[in-house]
Amino acid sequence: MKRHFKEGARNIWRNGWMTVASVGAVTTTLILVGVFLVLMLNLNHIANELEGDVQIKALVELTAEQNDVNQIETKIKSIDEIESVEFLTKEEELKNLIESMGDQGKAWGTI
């Protein structure tokens, strides 16, 4: 066993540049694998976050009757992937727009 360690140390000393090259290659490989792993995990996390934050707004014509709106709402609720459905009138949407714009939204209040 002692002979193997002695022989290994002698070969490392004799082939110094090859030792440096092999250590460099292993280090570079580990760094690249680490970078790709971090990128993959971050992209996966971002995709999962975006998947949960999807909102779709559907506009209904102003001339639509309440019965038509109720039918559309029922059809949308029947889709399995839909978590919630909310119907807002044009007045409620205008109020939300004004609130979301802060001071700049006050101009919309005059319309």
Q: What is the pLDDT of residues 12-31, one digit of tens each?
A: 778 778 888 989 999 999 99
Instruction: Let me know if residue 40 belongs to a domain.
Output: yes
Instruction: Let me know if residue 77 belongs to a domain.
Output: yes
Query: By the 8 A CB rule, do 68 and 75 touch?
Result: no
Please state, in angstroms and as integers, the Cα–Cα distance from residue 75 to each residue in 21, 46, 52, 71, 96, following that order: 65, 30, 21, 6, 25
Residue 101 CB partners (closer than 8 Å, separation 6+):
108
Q: Do 83 and 45 reside in the same domain of the chain?
A: no
Q: Do 81 and 105 reside in the same domain of the chain?
A: yes
Render pLDDT for 32-67 as a digit per residue (tens, 0 to 9). Answer: 999 999 999 999 999 988 887 778 888 888 788 888
Q: Do 74 and 40 reside in the same domain of the chain?
A: no
- Structural domain of residue 34, as residue ranges? 2-52
Instruction: Let me know if residue 61 belongs to a domain.
Output: no
pTM over 0.85: no
